[in-house]
Amino acid sequence: MEVHMEKEVFTPDQSQSIVDAILKGYKSYLDERIEKRRTMHVSAGYVWTKANHIDGALATANLNFIDKFELKHASQSWEFLEFNSENQLLGRVCFVLKGLTRLRQVFPTAVKSGKGYLFDYAQINTSYLENLSRHTDESTLFPVQMELFDDNLFELLNRSEQSINNFFFITYQADELHHLTNIQVIMPDSRTGKLIEIQNLSTFISTSNVDFNDEKYQELQGLSEIDDVADFEIIPRLASEKEA
């Protein structure tokens, strides 16, 4: 779904910087996967390093609108970075990078159980979204799993007393050829289990100076992804639950 908004969470320059960093991290991840596939008899476990590469790339980008980042632990074996920023539209925010496909899988489980780091983060938005709901028909705001805020709703969000304390995901998604094609800013709602798209950054992929023109990036067929690994139950169920 294409987004056309006058007011955005990130400016065009900020958006391009974020997308560039994500692409650099993803390229680093692909380089490692390609190398390990070449040198090892079995290397599917490296699929779980994608988030590390992408988080690390944003951390080392030294973007001036990101105040700090902090290493967090969702479990003994699951680490991620939390980024903090003073945002012109949403006030004081923190955000986490997350694969969109995986987020769609694990967030409903987190909401249903009422626990886990994804649910805890989503609860930050509760007062904010409740205030918004008082100004609009919630059945209109959340008719499907992924929804868009229009400009009028952004005005209401910006006036919310809780707008200085919000959380969102910046998500990324690759196509069947392992090319990143989708990068979005998404706000989770712990009350409904909905994932609300508030800005689509995907158009900045085509304007990035990070290219994947090398032939090796065109020959990624058969490269396993998390979904494939999980389908074969290679990852223990407990580890998957802790990820949420």
pTM: 0.82
Q: What is the pLDDT of residue 74?
A: 84
Task: Note the pLDDT of residue 66.
Answer: 96
For position 231, what pLDDT does the model report? 38
pLDDT in the model for residue 152 = 52
Q: What is the pLDDT of residue 244?
A: 58
Determine the pLDDT at residue 227: 58
Instruction: Write out pLDDT tens, residues 107-157.
Output: 999 999 999 999 999 999 888 788 777 765 544 444 334 445 555 555 544
3-state secondary structure the chain: CCCCCCCCCCCHHHHHHHHHHHHHHHHHHHHHHHHHHHHCCCCHHHHHHHHHHHHHHHHHCCCCCCCEEEEEEEECCEEEEEEEEEECCCEEEEEEEEEHHHHHHHHHHHHHHCCCHHHHHHHCCHHHHHHHHCCCCHHHHCCCCEEECCHHHHHHHHHCCCCCCEEEEEEEEECCCCCEEEEEEEEECCCCCCEEEEEECHHHCCCCCCCCCCHHHHCCCCCCCHHHHHHCCCCCHHHHHHHC
Sites in the chain below the pLDDT cut of 50: 1-6, 138-147, 156-164, 228-239
